[in-house]
Amino acid sequence: MPPQPQIMVDLQFEQYMPDPDLETIAKLIAQDPGLSGALLKLVNSPHFGLSNKIGSIQRAVNLLGSRSIINLINAQSIKGEMSDETIVTLNRFWDTAQDVAMTCLTLAKRTGIQAADEAYTLGLFHDCGVPLMLKRFPNYMDVLEDAYATASEQTRVVDTENRVFNTNHSVVGYFTAKSWRLPEHISAAIANHHNALAVFRDESSRNTQTQLKNLLAVLKMAEHICASYRVLGNQNVDHEWNVVGPLVLDYIGLSEYDFENLKQTIRELGGH
């Protein structure tokens, strides 16, 4: 996945400082799904022999150290050039990925859901299949807009993609997350993030399902607050949230009134 050009400039500036600051580097990397994915893939590789996979960007940076991180940045920077048109189109993806990630982090803390850093990771990566689909299918954004426009209780966003392309960005995102060696529960959340209605209707009490519901609840609230339906889907109405939102809020234990207040607070924090 191509890294965001400005992030690469900022990272390269930091690496030439006499004493590169790991915290600054981690914050920059955490803004970019491609760089974050490459970083987590490296730290979760058999080479490091970790007993538990890491889903936190900051922990990964601290573990690797500045020299390995700089090598990783340089490797990413020499990947293929992008056209100006592609960069402009992908800005929609980059902007919403960063917004949703930060909102997931805030929501996880506000609602008492544990592993806030993993909620951030999911927010950053949940749509990582989008730029890859765009790279493969030049008309992908048009289809994605149609998918958001026709989302309903009967039709998921990914159903429209499946009909046109015989695959969708959630599936591509899942396999990308697997290749990055992200923890399985984060990969599962990426795979199911447009299948949330079925997940929340499932009354199963298995621990894995609870973990999935916790992550998806935070993500679906964050997507709605950050208006992914408008940024990516070019729609004025969040059809998907209208269907799944009541189930999500019931699961979290928030009234519609409380959520509206929370949404307003977070939007003010993010400058929306």
Task: In whole angstroms, give the CA distance from residue 172 to residue 237.
Answer: 26
Cβ–Cβ under 8 Å, residues 56 and 196: no
**C-beta of residue 239 within 8 angstroms of C-beta of residue 160:** no
- Contact, 25 vs 69, CB < 8 A? yes
Give the span between the Cα atoms of 145 and 158, in whole angstroms: 11
User: What are φ and ψ of residue 77, in 5° steps?
Assistant: -70, -20
Confidence at residue 237, expressed as pLDDT on a 0 to 100 scale: 97
Q: What is the pLDDT of residue 189?
A: 96
Predicted pLDDT at 78: 46
Residue 49, Ramachandran bin (φ over 0: left; ψ between -120 and 50: alpha; else beta) = left
Q: How far apart are CA 209 and CA 189, in angstroms?
A: 10
CA distance 228 to 233: 7
pTM: 0.78
pLDDT at residue 47 in the model: 67
HSE-CB at 264 with a 13 A cutoff on CA atoms is 6
DSSP tally for the chain: helices H, then strands E: 17, 0
Per-residue pLDDT of the chain (272 residues; tens, 9 = 90+): 667 767 877 887 787 788 888 889 899 998 888 888 888 888 887 767 788 888 888 888 888 887 777 767 766 654 555 666 777 777 778 778 878 988 998 999 888 887 888 898 899 889 989 988 988 898 999 999 999 999 999 999 999 999 999 999 999 999 988 888 888 999 999 999 999 999 999 876 555 588 899 999 999 999 999 999 999 999 999 999 999 999 999 999 999 999 999 999 988 876 55
Residue 122 CA to residue 182 CA, distance in Å, equals 10
The pLDDT value given to residue 77: 57
